[in-house]
Amino acid sequence: MRSARPHVVRAGRPALTRLLGTLDADTFAREHWGHTLHLATVEERGGDAFSDLFSLDAVDELVSDRALRTPFLRVAKNGSTLPEAGFTSSGGTGAGMPDQVDDTRLLRHFADGSTLVLQGLHRTWGPIRAFAADLADDLGSPVQVNAYITPPANQGFDDHYDVHDVFVLQVSGTKRWSLREPVLPQPLRSQPWTDRRDAVAARAQEPAALETTLRPGDCLYLPRGWIHSARAMGEVSAHLTIGVHAWTRHHVARTALDLLGAGLGDEADVRQSLPLGVDLSSPDGWGEDVEQVRAALLRRLRDLPAEDLAAALETDHRRSARPAPVRPLAQAAAAEQLRADDAVELRRHLEPALRDDGDRVSLVSRVATFTLPATYRPALERLLEAEPVGVRELGGLAGLDDTEALGLARGLLHRGVATPAQRRPGRDD
């Protein structure tokens, strides 16, 4: 039975709200997150067909004009993934890498009924990259985005389940989905469907929990473990799958074990050697050692500060994604041209935090740890409000003159912590 526990739904959540239609984020968190399907039709979503995120033209641009390389593309047919050599080739003189997508070969495969799978679109396609980062902030978990482009009346993959939650966004054409309840609820990444092929195949023969045809603008949420298959209808179908790698209690447990293991070296009893000539195949000769190790582990687990666990998980979260993109040449030029009357703002999706250490304060983020005298803390706090702040105001909060304020602001830009603001607003804008 699922335990009742509160979900923290932060204000706004525009990316998540866009997907849910008439369902509010609090209800989604309480009644669907991690365990129950949810379908939001294009009508319930106000007619939004996701055309700003992706399209068939975007597919052609990626595979023909962007020199896309594997593994950013897979090709599948009748439930199997095709060898990469069948749709890649060298780029010719000066670009001889053999793993580049060959658009001519790809055309032949698609015309023959193969499904194209564009992977990692949260890295390769700007509109999706921005939306995925916003959604990751809304959900508090990292996300990835793939696109599946299937010829009419074809199916790329057989019934299977995913080890991450999925939002399916239908972009073009229609696709018929069959969904069945899990054979293993909430599987971990180490528990793929291929380990349970027979159980999945058997469940696929049972009546579906939901049969639905997705149209452009429909959005379907599948918790991890739900068995599904999909088949294109009478035209080319394109849909996005947003994979949500939700943090789990298993992550907490593994992190706790890592911390315990790192600290066991401080235990004198644990550092002792096993008996001379020990037979490791049988615990008969070292059973007492097992008990001492078990006792040390249990004691350390009971005494493990929640703050240490939170710090380790926070580090994992920062490493799970990248901040908003920054243009190195433009940023460097902007830093050199910066004036005291200009403004800067915090780079988006940075996951920043301030850490005090005596007479120093550090700004910890996904890109760098920026350490300054503690007197700069008010300036950094103002920057972390994520609103544009004038260079002169930033310096004033740290007790700096204009020249010193420019040095601070330029340092923030050079380290990729801040970006130039478009304008210098008032605090009440």
Name the band, by pLDDT with cuts 50, 70 and 90, for residue 79. Answer: confident
Helix (H) or strand (E) holding 414: helix 402-414
192 lies in the same domain as 314: no
Name the band, by pLDDT with cuts 50, 70 and 90, for residue 11. Answer: low
Helix segments in 21-102, DSSP class H: 25-31, 56-65
Name the band, by pLDDT with cuts 50, 70 and 90, for residue 10. Answer: low
Residue 296 is part of which domain span? 249-270+284-319
Q: What is the DSSP string of 94-129?
A: T---TTEE-HHHHHHHHHTTPEEEE--HHHH-HHHH
Residue 402 included in any domain? yes
Task: Over range 15-33, report the average pLDDT.
Answer: 96
Q: What is the count of structural domains for the chain?
A: 3
Helix (H) or strand (E) holding 238: strand 237-244
Residue 206 included in any domain? yes
Amino acid identity at 289:
D
110 lies in the same domain as 67: yes
Percentage of the chain lying above the pLDDT 90 cut:
86
199 lies in the same domain as 152: yes
**Whole-prediction pTM value?**
0.90
**Do 177 and 230 touch, CB atoms closer than 8 A?**
yes
Lowest mean pLDDT among 6-15, 111-120, 406-415: 6-15
The pLDDT of residue 5 is above 70: no
Residue 429 included in any domain? no
Name the band, by pLDDT with cuts 50, 70 and 90, for residue 424. Answer: very low
The pLDDT of residue 153 is above 90: no
234 lies in the same domain as 92: yes
Percentage of the chain lying above the pLDDT 70 cut:
96
> Mean pLDDT of all residues in the chain?
93
The pLDDT of residue 211 is above 70: yes
Distances (CA, A) of 133 to 11, 23, 52, 348: 17, 21, 15, 9
Comparing CA positions, the residue from 284, 409, 270, 398 lying closest to residue 339 is 409
Residue 279 included in any domain? no
Task: Over range 278-293, report the average pLDDT.
Answer: 89
Residue 75 included in any domain? yes
Task: Over range 348-372, report the average pLDDT.
Answer: 95
pLDDT value of residue 80: 86
Per residue in 228-265, pLDDT tens?
Answer: 999 999 899 999 999 999 999 999 999 999 999 999 99
Q: What is the CATH number of the domain that holds 156?
A: 2.60.120.650
Between 203 and 12, the higher pLDDT residue: 203
159 lies in the same domain as 299: no
191 lies in the same domain as 61: yes
pLDDT value of residue 6: 66
pLDDT value of residue 429: 44
pLDDT value of residue 1: 41
263 lies in the same domain as 169: no
The pLDDT of residue 156 is above 80: no
Name the band, by pLDDT with cuts 50, 70 and 90, for residue 284. Answer: confident
Task: Over range 331-349, report the average pLDDT.
Answer: 96
pLDDT value of residue 93: 87
The pLDDT of residue 38 is above 90: yes
Task: Over range 96-107, report the average pLDDT.
Answer: 93
